[in-house]
Amino acid sequence: MIKRRKSIKSRLFTYFFVLFAIFTLSILVFQQHREKQFRILQLETRLNDYCVLVSRYINASGLNSEGDFRKLDSLKTLIPPGEIRVTVMNTDGKVLYDNSVEDYSSMENHLDRPEVLKAKYADEGFNIRHSATTNLNYFYYARYSDNLIIRSAVVFNSEIKNYLKIERAFIIYLILLFVGFGIVLWLIAHRLGDSVAQLKESIIKMSRDEEIGPDYHFPDDELGSISREFTRAYDQSRRIKGELLLEKEKLSATCLY
């Protein structure tokens, strides 16, 4: 079975379309990553404000020297446990306070938590993971402050997930832009394909010594100009050839007489 070759239009459009699709996809991936990082930074800033508030309260009340962190319960009016979880640990990972857990003194050591390790050695860190203590998923942010590690967290629910996602309006805009450019690429490929097809057809006619009519249409572009020049040279060659044959016939007739 003979495989039908694709036309030049189809091949040009395929090449253009694949290149533009890769370009569009790279923009989408880059923008999604950039948007997510920006929103994570905003969320970190919000949680950092709570950490700073707790740190200032500890310093102002002298809780670090007293060791009685239960006084942090007075902040529950400002930091509701149902919305923001706050945990205070020493640098060894021992939990000193947690506004979402009543018996926080019996909580396991938190030094192996990723965000805690980052805060201990890099002053701050965040992580998204499941909490074995409350059995919920959290977005954690921790920071090192005065030999303490203060961590704030928000439940990683559907609202936070949607907040971290790229805006749907941008995706719709990119899709519309992709469709619009796809149409433009098809028109360009169609026009360029017609030019190449016309050039190919005129060359085939020349190779078969067929006549190319004066009303033969050529596209108004570079390929059309090349085709017109080929046709002009071809017509001139045919005319000279015809004149030479006519002269030859006249010479032959003269020699006979």
Cα–Cα distance, 14 to 24 (Å, whole number): 15
Cα–Cα distance, 8 to 189 (Å, whole number): 8
Of 103, 100, 192, the C-alpha closest to 155 is: 100
Rounded to 10 degrees, the C-alpha dihedral 78/79/83/89 comes to 180
Type and span of the H or E element at 196: helix 168-207
Within 10 angstroms of residue 34's Cβ, the number of other Cβ atoms is 11
The order of strands in the sheet holding 124-130 is 95-98, 84-90, 148-155, 137-145, 124-130
- Amino acid 76 reads K
Structure confidence at residue 55 as a pLDDT band (50, 70, 90): very high
Per-residue pLDDT of 181-198, as tens digits, reads 778 877 777 777 766 766
Per-residue pLDDT of 14-47, as tens digits, reads 777 788 888 888 888 887 778 888 888 888 999 9
For the chain, strand residue ranges (E) read: 84-90, 95-98, 124-130, 137-145, 148-155
Percent helix, percent strand, percent coil in the chain, to nearest 5: 65, 15, 25
Quote the radius of gyration of the chain (alpha carbons, Å).
Answer: 39
Within 10 angstroms of residue 110's Cβ, the number of other Cβ atoms is 21
99, 153 Cβ separation under 8 angstroms: no
Which CATH superfamily, name and number, covers 8-164?
A: PAS domain (3.30.450.20)
Q: Which residues pair with 154 in a beta bridge?
A: 84, 139
54, 72 Cβ separation under 8 angstroms: yes
According to DSSP, the β-strands at 95-98 and 84-90 are: antiparallel
By CB atoms closer than 10 A (0-12, 13-18, 19+), residue 52 is middle
Q: Which residues pair with 144 in a beta bridge?
A: 149
Per-residue pLDDT of 95-147, as tens digits, reads 999 998 888 888 899 999 999 999 999 999 999 999 888 888 999 999 999 88
pLDDT score, position 3? 45
All structural domains of the chain with their residue ranges: 8-164, 181-256
Per-position DSSP letters for 129-172, written without gaps between them = EE-TTTS-EEEEEEEEETTEEEEEEEE--HHHHHHHSPPHHHHH
Of 231, 221, 215, 213, the C-alpha closest to 194 is: 221
Is the pTM higher than 0.85? The answer reads no
pLDDT of 157 over the 90 cut: no
Mean residue pLDDT of the chain comes to 79
